Amino acid sequence: MTWLTEWAAYLPQMMSGLGVSLLIAGVSIVAGYPLGLVLSVMVSARNLALRTLALAVVEIGRGAPALVILYLFYYGLPKFGIAFESITAACLALIWNSAAYSSEIMRAGIQSVGRGQLEASSALGLAQRHTFWRVIMPQGMRSAIPGLMGVAIQMFQGTSLAYAIAVPELMKSAYNIGSQDFNYLQIFALAGLCYAAISMPATWITVFFEKRMARHA
């Protein structure tokens, strides 16, 4: 059997794994980014308690390897009587991860908005909330888009960690198939191709956006 016919045979099972990976990545982005936005605002809050809390969440989320957080959720929390299904634990860990990373990108985006925009807004007499939500945020988020797309790709690749707690995602599917026939080389090459099939076009789109932004900056 050539590799290609083997791949064709494995593909249906791989696709279900890929589906799970995409689901986890999707959840971590859809839930993580809004949370990241909240954190990005909180880290510059005037209230010290809010600021400290946000900073702790962000720094742990960025500082600790995702796998550590994943294990804490899956193996650690049951000690306190909180048990999650493996896929839920994976989603929660990656949500934390994506919220932490995206919040830093959004914060940088917000800070990149020129001082002149703030001055014009105050000279016009706009209220702070209008200045923030209508003037600063749209511009800050715009410049954050390429970075956020980058984090999304990172999240998708990060779903492979869920293998470690037996979530039936792409890596787990590949491992299962491989352990039946010991065709590890072929199957992990196929897994790599599956990740690349998503990540590479996503990267191209990101680069396209980056260039577009640079042109319209």
Partner 1 sequence: MTLSEIADGKLAPRTGIKLDNICKRYGDHTVLDDVSLHVEPGTVTALIGPSGAGKSTFLRCINLLERPDSGTIQVAGHTIEPGKVVNNKDLAALRSTVGMVFQSFNLFPHMSAMKNISFPQQKVLGRSREEADARSMELLERVGLKEKANQPPGRCSGGQQQRIAIARALALDPSIMLFDEPTSALDPEVGLEVLAVMRELAADGMTMIVVTHEMQFARDVSDTLVVMADCKIIEQGDPGAIMSDPQEARTRRFLRAVLER
> Which residues make up the interface to partner 1 (CB under 8 A)?
114, 116-117, 119-120, 122-127, 130, 134-135, 138-139, 142, 216
> Please, what is the minimum distance in Å from the beta carbon of residue 124 to partner 1?
4
d(CA 188, CA 199) in angstroms, rounded, equals 16
In the complex with partner 1, the residue whose CB is nearer, 22 or 137, is: 137
* Residues 6 or more apart in contact with residue 86 via CB below 8 angstroms: 74, 162, 165, 166, 167
- Closer to partner 1 by CB, 77 or 118: give it: 118
Nearer to partner 1, 32 or 147 (CB): 147
Between CA 12 and CA 131 the distance in angstroms is 51
Of the two residues 61 and 147, which places its CB atom closer to partner 1 in the complex?
147
C-alpha 16/C-alpha 64 separation (Å) is: 30
What end-to-end distance do the CA atoms of the chain give, in Å? Answer: 54
For the bound state, the minimum distance from the C-beta of residue 37 to partner 1, rounded and expressed in Å, comes to: 17
Closest distance to partner 1 from the beta carbon of 122 (Å) = 6
Please state the closest distance from residue 183 (CB atom) to partner 1, in A: 53
Least distance from C-beta 145 to partner 1, angstroms? 13
Report the C-alpha gap between 126 and 210 in whole angstroms.
Answer: 31
Distance CA(12)–CA(8), nearest Å, equals 8
Query: Which of residues 59 and 212 has its CB atom nearest to partner 1 in the complex?
Result: 212
